[in-house]
Amino acid sequence: MKSRGQPDCLYAAVHAAEFPAQAILRLRPDLRSHPCVVLAGSPPEERVCALNLHARKRGVVHGMTRLEVDELGNIHILTCFAETEATARNVFLETLLQFSPRIEETFATNASAFVLDITGTERLFGPPHEIALRIRSALSTVGFRASICICTNYDTARIKAEFSSGISVIPYEKESEALAPVPISALHLELEHYETFALWGIGTLGELAALPEEELIPRFGQPSRAWLALSRGYAEHTFQPMEARFELKEHIEFETHIEQLDSLLFVCSNMINNLVARASSRALSLASIRIDMSLEGSAQYKQVIHPAIPSNDRKFLLKLMQLEIAAHPPQAAVDSLTLTAEAGQHCKVQLDLFALPMPEPSRLDVTLARLKAIAGADRVGSPVLLDSHRPGNFQIREFSINDQLFTDAKTLNRTCLRRVRPPHTLRMQLNTGKPAAFRDGSAPFCVSVAYGPWQSSGCWWAVDRWDLEEWDVMATNDSGESIACLVVHDHLNGKWLLDAFYD
């Protein structure tokens, strides 16, 4: 046997079997305790490509037709969708990136398999067995079941994870013993080679490893040298790490159309839980969630949820989604659902000791969502002045909380302009072109001082053009009370208006 020195590498192989079924069931916890199969292909040639453990106990095997599955009875039949499986694979990979940035994907039939280079991570996550427990726990949080093997040899870890269940930690120089019971199909040989080994009575890697190399090579050539290295646990491999992109996205496609809001929210709840768990693992929160639905009849549904501040409160985010969908319901049954979240940093606001307490962000968001459902989305938010000469020109934008508190170094006396909405129509009396007296309803006022006029006009080319003449006046009524106000002459409509008071 080839002699080896003390290795300086440590690998963790993770193998998620029956991945098409896991990709669907991770978002359908109501079906996890029932026998389920996934069919692939076009009718009437659909066949089982993946199944869960409960279906295997009922006698389902790969390759069975839909008719054969129906004959067994009480088995949930699911459909394989490429986008659902691709999204689940990204989530699977993203979870593994928490433990190592160096990850290589390996070939595995009907499964998702990766090998992590965890060399030097013992100080972060503990000994190998504890690392495996942490990986399994993280995968379970996002809805995956996987077998894990940790070994100093890349191929030994990969093969053992594929042909075993649970957690395996192979000590150094014990690789050959660990691989002995593994079937020879782990080598993915040509059919004629399998036939030859079957004639020789060779069915496991242990039996292959016991064959003499000098007699095996003349019969099979140089490839047999690699077979022996794999079966004996000392095959060499050049690690090729992949680059993964972080994306908070969950996708599911439904076998039957979903029409009820409660059924849709049940699925949304699990998807939000996964998004929050993935964001929390990176010390992030959800700043927004984009909802994309494919509706019956090829229609599309798109909405975006923007919390006032990034949040990881699952119940709060689900409530916002419920209010948003209730305010803008889909116009047809839902075929598929995609949630894409934008990550944000946790908001930290340093409050002043003497400042009034701010409302709780989650309650404020829910209140705003309820108001939007009643008054309309364009009538709820924060007023923002527009860059225009039109008096009082503003628009409503999405409400957000600023993490900075603005305080004045010293208190200053300021004049406040209090707008009158809607403006009061006045009966104005002029003297040499200046306001002299006016009547606001039944109350007469005599003008003592008038400053102006200030002309303002614009948008002469549009329907909403304006042409105003403004005056700042001091006036008194019959009882001697004084007011300071802004009166406006609307030239286009020929009206005098009481627009604001100075307080």
**Chain CA centroid to CA 419, Å:** 43
Q: Residue 366 domain-assigned?
A: yes
Cα 117 from Cα 104, distance rounded (Å): 8
Task: Quote the number of domains for the chain.
Answer: 3
Domain that holds residue 256: 246-407
| Three-state DSSP class for residue 49 | strand
Does a structural domain hold residue 130? yes
Which is it for strands 103-106 and 111-117: parallel, antiparallel or unpaired?
antiparallel
Residues 208, 154 share a domain:
yes
DSSP 340-393: EEEEEPPP-----TTSPPPPPHHHHHHHHHHHHHHH-GGGSSEEEE-SSSSTT-
| Among 146, 226, 242, 154, residue whose Cα is nearest residue 188 | 226
Q: Are residues 357 and 332 in the same domain?
A: yes
- Name the region of 308 (left: φ>0; alpha: ψ -120 to 50; beta: rest): alpha
Q: What is the token pair recorded at 393?
A: 């020109």
C-alpha angle 115-130-9 in degrees, rounded to nearest 5:
40
| Res 261: pLDDT | 86
Residue 223 in any domain: the answer is: yes
Q: Which amino acid would we find at residue 102?
A: R
Judge if 304 and 451 occupy the same domain: no
Residue 221 and residue 361 in one domain:
no
Do 485 and 475 touch, CB atoms closer than 8 A?
yes
Report the candidate in 392, 433, 418 with the shortest Cα–Cα distance to residue 483.
418
304 in a structural domain: yes
Alpha-carbon distance of 20 to 40, in angstroms, equals 10
390 burial (CB, 10 Å; 0-12 / 13-18 / 19+) is middle
Last residue of a domain, one of 198, 232, 266: 232
Tell me the CA distances in angstroms from 347 to 42, 248, 309, 365, one per residue in order. Answer: 50, 19, 6, 15
Reading the block at residue 155, the tokens are 């191929």
- In order of 34, 36, 46, 145, the CA distances from 53 in angstroms are 9, 8, 20, 11
* Co-location of 387 and 425 in the same domain: no
pLDDT value, residue 3 = 46
Is the same domain home to 370 and 497? Answer: no
* Tokens 């116009």, residue located: 331
pLDDT of residue 5: 54
φ and ψ at residue 252, rounded to 5 degrees: -145, 140
487 three-state secondary structure = strand
Q: Are residues 372 and 483 in the same domain?
A: no
| Residue 466 in tokens | 């304006």
Q: What pLDDT sits at residue 311?
A: 86
Specify the pLDDT at position 2. Answer: 44
Q: 291 - beta bridge partners? A: 303, 339
Residue 241 lies in a domain: no
Task: In whole angstroms, give the CA distance from residue 297 to residue 13.
Answer: 44
Side-chain half-sphere CA neighbours of 146 within 13 A? 36
Q: Is the same domain home to 211 and 143?
A: yes
pLDDT value at position 359?
Answer: 63
Residues 6+ apart with CB under 8 A from 368: 308, 380, 381, 399
Residue 5 in domain: no
pLDDT in tens, the chain (503 residues): 444 555 678 999 999 999 999 999 998 888 889 999 999 888 888 899 999 999 999 999 999 999 999 999 899 999 878 888 999 999 999 999 999 999 999 988 889 999 999 998 988 999 999 999 999 999 999 999 999 999 999 999 999 999 999 999 999 989 999 999 999 999 988 888 889 999 999 999 999 999 888 888 888 888 889 999 999 999 999 998 887 778 899 999 888 888 888 889 888 999 999 999 888 888 888 989 999 999 988 899 999 988 878 888 889 899 889 988 988 889 899 999 999 999 887 666 666 677 666 666 677 777 877 887 777 777 787 888 887 777 777 788 776 655 454 444 455 566 788 888 889 999 999 988 899 999 988 889 999 999 989 998 888 888 878 899 999 999 998 888 899 999 999 999 899 999 999 98
State the Cα–Cα distance between residues 337 and 295, nearest whole angstrom: 9
Is residue 39 in some structural domain? yes
What's the confidence (pLDDT) of residue 406? 47
Residues 387 and 429 in one domain: no
Looking up residue 179, the CATH number of its domain turns out to be: 3.30.70.270
Among candidates 412, 483, 405, 417, which has minimal Cα distance to 444?
483
> CB of 329 within 8 A of CB of 261?
yes
Q: Residues in the chain, how many?
A: 503
**Separation between Cα atoms, residue 426 and residue 497, nearest integer Å:** 5
Instruction: Specify if 157 maps to a domain.
Output: yes
Buried b (16+ CB within 10 A) or exposed e, 344-355: beebeeeeeeee
For residues 399 and 421, membership in a common domain is answered with no
Query: Which of the listed residues 407, 438, 472 is the one where a domain comes to its end?
Result: 407
Last residue of a domain, one of 175, 200, 232: 232
Got the DSSP string for 310-348? -B--HHHHHHHHHHHHHHS--SS-EEEEEEEEEEEPPP-
Q: Which helix (H) or strand (E) holds 160?
A: helix 154-162
* CA distance linking residue 249 with residue 64, whole number of Å: 33
Phi first, then psi, for residue 456 (nearest 5°) are -145, 125
Let me know whether 337 and 485 are in one domain.
Answer: no
The verdict on 259 and 155 lying in the same domain is no
